[in-house]
């Protein structure tokens, strides 16, 4: 179908919570997903990576981002201390706080209304699924981006390994799994 004003006007534009409610709440955290559901989004987009111990976790970047990640002693990460998420176990990943934006960074300036919530952690994918089930949001779609990169095999595991970890019980939900390199949606409005 050609993409023109008439065909787009006949489609419902979906409101999608990008990484939850990333412009308002800590991105890719349970608090961010809860906020997006409170707003009443039609769907949520999130990113899935696999940890060293095979846990699917929800995070956008191949590494912890210095603009959002702090160590257990509340120090911001620096560019020298970054390691790939695939090298960390889920338990190790849980030691980092991703609940606020580092002040005066480009990221913080981009989202001045972002609510800082200390103590927020990177969730496991199943925790987001459980949250959606608990909230009874059967109408809410879930767009899952598998974060792998054939060009950077040292940063991510192979896509097939990650996809194999998606439990069969999730197939009953309205989940669209897409790879990083193959996604095209028309009639979608990305919130935040």
Which residues are catalytic, by number?
Answer: 18, 60
Look up residue 127 and give its two tokens: 């925790």
Rounded CA-CA distance 159/183 in Å is 15
Burial label for 178, CB within 10 Å (0-12, 13-18, 19+), is: middle
Look up residue 106 and give its two tokens: 């480009």
Residues 20, 38: contact at Cβ < 8 Å?
A: no
Residues 143, 43: contact at Cβ < 8 Å?
A: yes
Convert 141-166 to b/e letters by CB count within 10 Å (16 or more is b).
bbbbbbbbeeeeeebbbebeebeeeb
């Amino acid at each position: 179908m050609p993409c023109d004003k008439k065909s787009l006007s006949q489609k419902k534009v979906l409101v999608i919570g990008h990484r939850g409610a990333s412009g308002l709440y800590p991105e890719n955290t349970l608090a961010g997903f809860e906020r997006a559901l409170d707003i009443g989004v039609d769907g949520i987009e999130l990113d899935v990576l696999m940890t060293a111990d095979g846990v699917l976790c929800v995070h956008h970047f191949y590494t912890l981002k210095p603009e959002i990640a702090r160590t257990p002693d509340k120090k911001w990460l620096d560019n020298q201390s970054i390691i790939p998420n695939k090298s960390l176990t889920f338990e190790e990943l849980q030691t980092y706080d991703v609940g606020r934006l580092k002040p005066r960074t480009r990221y913080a300036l981009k989202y001045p209304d972002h609510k800082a919530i200390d103590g927020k952690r990177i969730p496991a994918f199943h925790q987001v699924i459980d949250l959606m089930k608990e909230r009874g949001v059967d109408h809410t779609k879930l767009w899952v981006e598998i974060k792998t990169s054939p060009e950077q095999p040292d940063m991510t595991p192979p896509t097939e390994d990650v996809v194999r970890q998606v439990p069969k019980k999730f197939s009953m939900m309205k989940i669209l799994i897409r790879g990083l390199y193959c996604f095209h949606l028309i009639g979608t409005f990305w919130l935040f």
